[in-house]
Structure 1
């Protein structure tokens, strides 16, 4: 499945598609969850939620 297909499925509530997109962006989410070289789990969760919210608002 290509990204666009995952995106559309995720927008329609497909949890597997949402999970795949999170996996695709996991390295970036982890990188941006580092605070002074320490992983911040709360920040990771907030970034993940923000990503999912952006997916739901994305207009095709």
Structure 2
């Protein structure tokens, strides 16, 4: 996936495009799932809360003075 495509998804998600939000969630779902494990066991409530927080962050994230979106993921 290119940086430009991911940026387009973010822009669409920030405009309220539900499909774009869903696509971004699908991309990051493995990371969210991994961070939803507590003491080695998956916690569904934690997963749901992380997804809600992630959607909030997508909607409120501000891109400033950077063209390469991958710099935000380091």
Q: TM-score range by the shorter chain?
A: over 0.9
TM superposition shift of 1:59: 1.6
Indicate the residue corresponding to 2:61 in structure 1: 58
Q: How far, CA to CA, are the matches of 2:62 and 2:28 in structure 1?
A: 19
Identify which of 17, 22, 32 aligns with 1:14.
Answer: 17
With structure 2 as the length reference, what TM-score do the two structures score? 0.77
Aligned-residue CA RMSD in angstroms? 1.1
Gaps of 5+ in 2: 64-74
Aligned structure 1 segments of 4 or more residues deviating by more than 3 angstroms = none
Q: Which residue number in structure 2 is paired with residue 28 of structure 1?
A: 31
Rg larger for: 2
The TM-score normalised by the length of structure 1 is 0.93
| Structure 1: runs of 5 or more not aligned | none
Would you say how many aligned residue pairs link Structure 1 and Structure 2?
A: 60
CA-CA distance at 1:58 after TM superposition: 1.1
Structure 1 position 13, deviation (Å): 0.6
